[in-house]
Structure 1
């Protein structure tokens, strides 16, 4: 499915030249604004922008020679004219929205370009699911580029996904019109150990002249890190401290600093620029994962830029990291990321560079939002029936499916417990002494230890793996279940009561996927996500309202963590240390091997 709303530069070059020279009239002129030039890092007052065919033809102090009888005029009134914002790394599915509804949500925030990795749907529907996301992305009035997912499964041998991605899939996708590169290479041990499959995917991408995304989720900056860089990934967003950012940039990677709904990694890394004085060209801002509530209530890339400025970053440098740096990284510097001739006419009008109110958004030469209201249609893909029937649980779950048996004769056991860390993706490997009753290991709410289960949902096998988790602070009788379970996207169930855990799991099987919270045997929140068990095609405002009710339900059950749902949904992500759960059992991600839920008695 080709983009039809924007001509290439070659197709409209004669007109751009003629408009710039005054021989033809522009379609649109923005007059008397302060031009924020991200190439030279300066602000130039009293400038005009002339636009034709959705691209910029002229930027200068006077565009009156480009005006004709049909030319639309926008008065900037001395406001700042900044390039449309780019999100360099993100997963649309994390918003629980389709590409169309995600675009509708972020357009009023000034996001005009997104570089998306749909590896969530790849785990559920394979290459066909990626194509659906890609096709809907190309239908949008803004620039939505797709990275071909690289790792499904994310860690071979440690989890079972609905589908697997092969090097042949990657090579095929590199020919699609909207594919910009390879999605984050999460199997970092595989790359560091020269795994032929991983290197074949990277080679297929580089042979196509496209960018390889990185994901090095380890604090080890020794030989393993250097081996990973040698394997070809060109960027990384998993850094959490200044040393991580510096190491990546020194090795020629782009350091992507993220501020998502639950990942707060900008403040701890931006000191590489603000204090150490490193060249900011090596740094990029991104969100990675934003749920719908963040998009509706707080913003998108405008929120990230504001945050970077609040952390002490020069506003012009912060803007560079969300515009031209991103475009350059993906080989698109001549096409977007700045307000200069030939580029796509993606422009934001704002009265202040620090607080960044997004007053008017122009994308491809057309006004798409004003004062927080989206003014354009965002077309929907016709999602087929099989994409809406992906939750296959097999037999109904019973409370006994969540039993964890103790060794014969044991009165207490020592358990390996997944420890949730607020506002960060990594977990901690904790230990807890738990009581045994009637041969079964008991949870301990007083120690903040409840149960977690991964319920198989792709093939109807009826299997459940069980372990323990700490950090949510749940009290009383409750359970929460989600078919959003990065990255395998089986079903994660966390609870203090096995009966409620069974009720929650079966409820999601009934509605075809989503998130539900049960308390004392009653459902108190539900978000239906019928597309791949990951997304709703309802507007972001409606999904955000249900998400807010879900988070309120978590709080009612005792959880006080910031954006705890994001922590919940990543507990099966077996490529981020330290402990995770998969359909195969408990995974020690520091060693990339399976471990036991209960420690052997000494």
Structure 2
């Protein structure tokens, strides 16, 4: 709090005047001291001005109620929620998240600075504090066909905005360790700000070098041992629990079993659909699940509030103390995280979403350019190798179809990766069994009419008599389509063009349904209720068509082209071995 505000508010702290609102007899969750105390909480305008014995112009009896600081999501992509960013903030804030550290690299990969400004504009009057990390890797990897290329000179234009906290997740690990000029320029530009990481496939001296560059955080740990490698190098670990990637249980169990200090751990969602938020909660779900796994409740609340505030230098957030913003959660049950009401900047958040009437730049709507693609192009380009889907993960397996075995060291990843999925075909009818499990996937460049595309095989998606097409395809967001026959795949692509982007499900020669995502081909202009209704129907139908229950049909597909996550991905230029950094076939 600056000195002018101090002069304005100190009389309320001293009890010389009544505050606007006092929460009486509340059990305050003091994450900074690890205790729960009973006291009155005085609020004036958007600030906490007193803890103790206070009177207010309005008083709310909070006997038998807990009050904690608002939760902070340490890392998320609004685009991956599919919803309008302001609406996403609204529903997340109702479940207690009042701070958001967003990386708009999905929007930037499609539309550059215009995409980033769309996120900033849409959230400027949202019911939570929305901060932005400037995307570091647009595109995410050299050779990617993204919509835009962002250099340090482009990122420099963002520095004057107070909501730009630092540099977004640095996925180009090789560029950092190998001292590539483009990456060095970006790290230097943000030398005095927080830099987020994406350390998924490095350890030992490489990880140490990566951390020494000033990269402070990572959200890609799938196991406790990998999380600890990063913490030992001075990094913060954002424990991810989203719609697709769920790493919380593995890491929190390790913390509990080893009695690990939690000071360098926070929670994040990364990618979480709005219907999952409405059903399960947001960061509140992470806190509740962590407590159920044996984490001390006060530690879980600290990881959801104070730790991320300290990580990102948000001095006015993260704890209940005088001078901090009155971003608060009132709970009836601390252990089960049962939320009664949520306050943002001293006002209770209305359960009714008021909508967002801001217009959208027409250039952000017309972003799908695939008229050149035809059915003849759906012939396989890759034959020997296939992408193996993994239930409950966005990691994939590199499968050698000639030898019926997996390549690379699977033991490096979660134990779920070690199931003998590749060996299920080792019986008398294994060729027939494998043929029945193969899906065809194509990725098609959609930004600049380059004519680049690739077609390969997938095991584990298992869709039958149909196809799915999507313009959400991390991080370059080229069009991706998967199916078991060319007719349905082409029909899905035609409907996708008509919808100006989104998700399409085709079954038996007919469009079952489509969810238009016209804003950059990433976000809906529908209200979330209508969007969730369509999406839920499509997900349920895709599972009936053979997609395993452990694979979310659209989210899992959206990651199959992301070349920074092991083991194998499809890119517009070929089938790509991530760990070997090489194209196959």
Asked whether the two chains share a fold, i.e. TM above 0.5, the reply is: yes
Residue of structure 1 equivalent to 2:428: none
* Residue 263 of structure 1, CA deviation: 1.1
* Residue 447 of structure 1, CA deviation: 4.5
Q: Deviations along 1:310-355, whole A, 9 cap, x unmatched?
A: 22111110110010000000001x2001111111101111111121
Residue of structure 2 equivalent to 1:134: 120
Change in 2 beyond 3 A, CA 1:463/1:510: farther
> What is the DSSP-based 3-state SS (H/G/I as helix, E as strand, rest coil) of the residue aligned with 1:424?
coil
* Residue 376 of structure 1, CA deviation: 6.0
Residue of structure 1 equivalent to 2:479: 491
Residue of structure 1 equivalent to 2:5: 12
Change in 2 beyond 3 A, CA 1:557/1:9: farther
Change in 2 beyond 3 A, CA 1:143/1:9: farther
Cα distance between partner residues in 2 of 1:537 and 1:339:
37
Unaligned runs of 5+ in 2: 404-430
Q: Deviations along 1:547-570, whole A, 9 cap, x unmatched?
A: 111211211211123323211100
TM-score (norm 2): 0.92
Q: 1:524 aligns with which of 512, 516, 519?
A: 512
Residue 162 in structure 1 maps to residue 162 in structure 2 = no
Residue of structure 2 equivalent to 1:361: 342
Asked whether the equivalents of residues 527 and 543 of structure 1 are also in contact (C-alpha less than 8 Å), the reply is: yes
Cα distance between partner residues in 2 of 1:264 and 1:527:
25
Residue of structure 1 equivalent to 2:184: 199
Residue of structure 2 equivalent to 1:439: none
Residue 216 in structure 1 maps to residue 199 in structure 2 = yes
Q: 2:379 aligns with which of 397, 400, 403?
A: 403
Residue of structure 2 equivalent to 1:460: 449
Residue 559 in structure 1 maps to residue 547 in structure 2 = yes
Change in 2 beyond 3 A, CA 1:343/1:375: farther
Cα distance between partner residues in 1 of 2:245 and 2:534:
21
Cα distance between partner residues in 1 of 2:357 and 2:86:
6
* Residue 380 of structure 1, CA deviation: 4.7
Q: 2:332 aligns with which of 351, 364, 369?
A: 351
Asked whether the equivalents of residues 333 and 339 of structure 2 are also in contact (C-alpha less than 8 Å), the reply is: no
Q: Deviations along 1:141-167, whole A, 9 cap, x unmatched?
A: 31111111111110112x110001111
* Residue 402 of structure 1, CA deviation: 0.6
Asked whether the equivalents of residues 452 and 573 of structure 2 are also in contact (C-alpha less than 8 Å), the reply is: no
Residue of structure 2 equivalent to 1:4: none
* Matches for 1:438-453 after TM superposition, within 5 Å: 446-453=435-442
Residue of structure 2 equivalent to 1:342: 323
Residue 262 in structure 1 maps to residue 255 in structure 2 = no
Residue of structure 2 equivalent to 1:539: 527
Asked whether the equivalents of residues 381 and 456 of structure 2 are also in contact (C-alpha less than 8 Å), the reply is: no
Cα distance between partner residues in 2 of 1:27 and 1:376:
25
Q: 2:388 aligns with which of 411, 419, 437?
A: 419
Residue of structure 1 equivalent to 2:171: 186
Q: Deviations along 1:394-415, whole A, 9 cap, x unmatched?
A: 33x4322111268xxxxxxx62
* Residue 247 of structure 1, CA deviation: 0.7
Residue of structure 2 equivalent to 1:438: none
Cα distance between partner residues in 2 of 1:292 and 1:523:
24
Residue 480 in structure 1 maps to residue 468 in structure 2 = yes
* Residue 522 of structure 1, CA deviation: 0.6
Residue 48 in structure 1 maps to residue 48 in structure 2 = no
* Matches for 1:320-331 after TM superposition, within 5 Å: 320-331=302-313
Q: 1:275 aligns with which of 239, 257, 281?
A: 257
Cα distance between partner residues in 2 of 1:10 and 1:272:
44
* Residue 23 of structure 1, CA deviation: 2.2
Q: 2:224 aligns with which of 218, 222, 242?
A: 242
Residue 471 in structure 1 maps to residue 460 in structure 2 = yes
Residue of structure 2 equivalent to 1:115: 101
Asked whether the equivalents of residues 305 and 322 of structure 1 are also in contact (C-alpha less than 8 Å), the reply is: yes
* Residue 266 of structure 1, CA deviation: 1.1
Unaligned runs of 5+ in 1: 1-7, 407-413, 435-441, 597-602
Asked whether the equivalents of residues 101 and 538 of structure 1 are also in contact (C-alpha less than 8 Å), the reply is: no
Residue 575 in structure 1 maps to residue 552 in structure 2 = no
> What is the DSSP-based 3-state SS (H/G/I as helix, E as strand, rest coil) of the residue aligned with 2:276?
helix
Q: 2:21 aligns with which of 10, 25, 28?
A: 28
Q: Deviations along 1:195-230, whole A, 9 cap, x unmatched?
A: 121121121112xx3210000111x42222222112
Cα distance between partner residues in 2 of 1:377 and 1:336:
25
Cα distance between partner residues in 1 of 2:3 and 2:450:
54
How many residues align? The count is 558
> What is the DSSP-based 3-state SS (H/G/I as helix, E as strand, rest coil) of the residue aligned with 2:98?
strand
Change in 2 beyond 3 A, CA 1:310/1:380: farther
Q: What RMSD, in angstroms, separates the aligned Cα atoms of the two structures?
A: 1.9
Cα distance between partner residues in 2 of 1:342 and 1:583:
52
* Matches for 1:68-147 after TM superposition, within 5 Å: 71-147=57-133
Asked whether the equivalents of residues 296 and 540 of structure 1 are also in contact (C-alpha less than 8 Å), the reply is: no
Once the two structures are overlaid, the 10-residue window that deviates more, 419-428 or 566-575, is 419-428
> What is the DSSP-based 3-state SS (H/G/I as helix, E as strand, rest coil) of the residue aligned with 2:72?
strand
Q: Deviations along 1:390-438, whole A, 9 cap, x unmatched?
A: 111133x4322111268xxxxxxx621111112222111012249xxxx
Q: Deviations along 1:230-285, whole A, 9 cap, x unmatched?
A: 22210101011111111111110001111001211111112342122222101111
TM-score (norm 1): 0.89
Residue of structure 2 equivalent to 1:5: none
Cα distance between partner residues in 2 of 1:256 and 1:305:
13
